[in-house]
Amino acid sequence: MISEAAEKAGMPKGAIGIITVPTMQATEELMKSHYTRLILATGGPAMVKSAYSSGTPAIGVGAGNGPAYIDKSADIHLAVKRILDSKTFDNGTICASEQSIIVEKCMEEKVTAELKAQGAYMLNAEESDKLAHFILRPNGSMNPAIVGKSVEHIAKLAGLTNVPASSRVLVARECKVGHAAPYSREKLAPILAFYVEDSVEAVLEKCIEILHFEGSGHTFCMHANDEELVKRFSIRVPASRILINTPGALGGIGATTNLFPALTLGCGAVGGSSSSNNIGPLDVINIKRVAYGTKELEEIRQEAPSGSGCCNKGDYSEAMVDAIVKKIMQELI
């Protein structure tokens, strides 16, 4: 289908190819082949590491696991609407979609009530435990049986008999982060974790903990109308896409934001990726430049600053340097 569409748009016939029987061995051979000029690897850490270790130039993008924080300053109805719109778009398969909601204790009742009002099903402890067994496979990877499936299908799979057919998303209370907490992982399905913290600082630390565990450098969503708070979170959170007051899935890929429209989202150095961009055509082409000389060496020497410039050692003192460093640190904090 892609080849047909591309050929109609002018692509040379045969420029797109596929592996008809996909295997890890076949992928590895392709990565190491001398015919391969560039790898664009989308997947988990193992896939990205394999691409970078192949000896072939590579752009790797990692897993998403974006938390969504709803602050006191947010429009709660609109924030919940955006999150559910995002998590139900393509049944949550876009990696920028929200994986958890995080709120302060004082917001718990309001957000819970709004989630229920807009069609989310809040799992009780027993139901949450049942579903947890279907999120991951025994080897710790995401269970493909839930990926992109509807709430109705997932509920039947997990034996959740009380979930109404009209439910849009399944929400489970969570407090931990790690391999023993399946809801803290990336779930490419209409399933959300729900965290409640005692303070804004605790919320921030939880968001950082979740992303460092899985999803470093990918995406973080925030619903707030407090610019100083947005700045505070943006500085600290290890994500390349900080999405404010927008659905994660659609905002991350540029549909509801001015980010470059792409389905391949770089995680930057913090996420082990060579790029933090929304990967587009310019990221995967090489540009040959023809540059004409505009200056001679003598001209460069004439333009160089003289010894009386602002960078002489005598122009500053240790006290001035200390004051500047302290000022910078205050701004960062």
Domain that holds residue 321: 298-332
Q: What is the mean pLDDT of residues 108-130?
A: 97
Count of Cβ atoms closer than 10 Å to residue 295 Cβ: 9
Q: 218 — phi, psi (to 5°)?
A: -85, -90
User: Cα(first)–Cα(last) distance of the chain, in Å?
Assistant: 51
**Residue where one domain finishes, among candidates 239, 263, 287:** 263
Of 141-150, 205-214, 215-224, 301-310, minimum mean pLDDT range: 301-310
Same domain, 210 and 104: yes
- What distance in Å separates the CA atoms of residue 289 and residue 105, rounded to the nearest whole number? 57
CATH number of the domain bearing residue 31: 3.40.605.10
The CA-based diameter of the chain, rounded to the nearest angstrom, is 82
- What distance in Å separates the CA atoms of residue 193 and residue 87, rounded to the nearest whole number? 12
Same domain, 292 and 305: no
Is residue 95 part of the annotated active site? The answer reads yes
Partner residues linked to 173 by β-bridges: 194
> Which residue from 33, 64, 35 is spatially nearest to 48, judged by alpha carbons?
64
Same domain, 281 and 320: no
Total number of domains constituting the chain: 3
Q: 167 — phi, psi (to 5°)?
A: -65, 135
Amino acid 141: pLDDT: 83
Residue pLDDT, tens place only, 182-237: 999 999 999 999 999 999 999 999 999 999 999 999 999 999 999 999 999 999 99
Same domain, 214 and 254: yes
Same domain, 57 and 87: no
Same domain, 173 and 232: yes
Burial (0-12, 13-18, 19+ Cβ within 10 Å), 305 = exposed
Helix (H) or strand (E) holding 41: strand 39-42
- What distance in Å separates the CA atoms of residue 158 and residue 152, rounded to the nearest whole number? 10
Same domain, 182 and 307: no
CATH number of the domain bearing residue 116: 3.40.309.10
Amino acid 315: pLDDT: 60
> Which residue from 219, 248, 224 is spatially nearest to 82, judged by alpha carbons?
248
Same domain, 98 and 192: yes
Q: What is the mean pLDDT of residues 278-300?
A: 94
Using an 8 Å Cβ cutoff, are 264 and 279 in contact? yes
Same domain, 205 and 77: yes
Say which of 95, 207, 221, 267 is annotated catalytic.
Answer: 95
Give every CB contact of residue 283 below 8 A, 6+ residues apart in sequence: 59, 275, 277
Distances (CA, A) of 237 to 47, 73, 219, 248, 264: 24, 19, 9, 15, 20
Residue pLDDT, tens place only, 94-106: 999 999 999 999 9
Same domain, 205 and 194: yes
Using an 8 Å Cβ cutoff, are 281 and 275 in contact? no
Partner residues linked to 61 by β-bridges: 42
